[in-house]
Amino acid sequence: MDPQSMLEGKKKLGELFTKHGVNPLTPLKGLLIQGPIFMSFFFAIQNMVEKVPSLKGGGAYWFTDLTTPDELYILPVLTSVTFLATVELNMQEGMEGNPMLQTMKNFSRILALMTIPFTMHFPKAIFCYWVTANLFSLGYGFALRKTAVRYFLNLPEVVPQPKAAQLSTFNLFEAPKPVSAVDTPTGNNGDSPTGDNCDSPTAANGSEQSNAELSDRVVFLEKKIAELERRAKARGESQDK
């Protein structure tokens, strides 16, 4: 994809985002909000482990003493599994073609696997909060996938993105990559046999194909937004009746 096509496509996509008030960094807002909250609970529970004697016998099953690590490693593994399930479930189907969100998803998968060795020495009380929070996230994730629940909450339906559209996505923040020169036959004096100002047919075809892909992508997004607006308007009219 040549730099000119990249710039043109990013400009069109940026105009589309601005028109409908969309920010590509919106998915990061949840992480910025949840991070401080999680750390607050973490340090609060850690402080309780040291200062609340009743936690030594306040557990159940194999984790009766909540102030010590889980020697069976069941709670660290359960935390990792529930976190990974939450990541896989709560990534919106209609956004899976987004390169940035796909990168975030892959990073979360790695983070889920790293949870076990990094948390195996935490006291069991922390896992009681962590596993419960993950199960709650799974619960509302399943609920929001139900059409009846989304209709009751007046939320738009999540429309799966066609595979063809996913293949033509590009990163809005990625810098244009330089186009490699295309070798062309030369004459005896090093000149092109077709003339000095003649462009390579291969490069021209590649540029046209890139422009067509970007245009199709923008058109697809415009149609998708229009469809979501139409459905939201129809739901509003039905509720007024």
Domain boundaries, the chain: 27-146
Does the pLDDT of residue 225 top 50, yes or no? yes
Residue with tokens 């956004």: 95
Count Cα neighbours of 172 within 13 Å in the Cβ-side half-sphere. Answer: 17
Could you report the per-residue pLDDT of 39-83, keeping only the tens digit for each?
898 899 989 988 888 888 877 788 888 888 988 899 999 999 998
Following CA atoms 8, 17, 165, 228 in sequence, which dihedral angle do they give, to the nearest 10 degrees? Answer: -150
Residue with tokens 């359960």: 78
Q: What angle do CA 206, 208, 209 make, to 5 degrees?
A: 65
Could you report the per-residue pLDDT of 148-162, keeping only the tens digit for each?
888 888 777 765 555
Q: What is the pTM for the complete model shown?
A: 0.57
Could you report the per-residue pLDDT of 99-151, keeping only the tens digit for each?
666 777 788 888 888 888 988 899 999 999 999 999 998 898 888 888 888 88
Instruction: Specify which residues 63 forms β-bridges with.
Output: 60
Does the pLDDT of residue 194 top 60, yes or no? no
Q: What is the pLDDT of residue 224?
A: 72
Residue scoring higher pLDDT (84 or 229): 84
Least confident of 29-33, 63-67, 126-130, 171-175: 171-175
Give the mean pLDDT of the chain. 73
Q: What is the pLDDT of residue 237?
A: 65
Please give the Cα distance from 170 to 7 (Å, whole number).
11
CB neighbours (10 Å) of residue 192?
A: 14
Pick from 33-47, 99-113, 173-187, 208-222 the range whose average pLDDT is largest.
33-47
Please give the Cα distance from 184 to 202 (Å, whole number).
10
Q: What is the pLDDT of residue 159?
A: 59
Does the pLDDT of residue 187 top 60, yes or no? no
Q: What is the pLDDT of residue 179?
A: 46
Please give the Cα distance from 126 to 32 (Å, whole number).
21
> Using an 8 Å Cβ cutoff, are 182 and 200 in contact?
yes
Please give the Cα distance from 13 to 24 (Å, whole number).
11
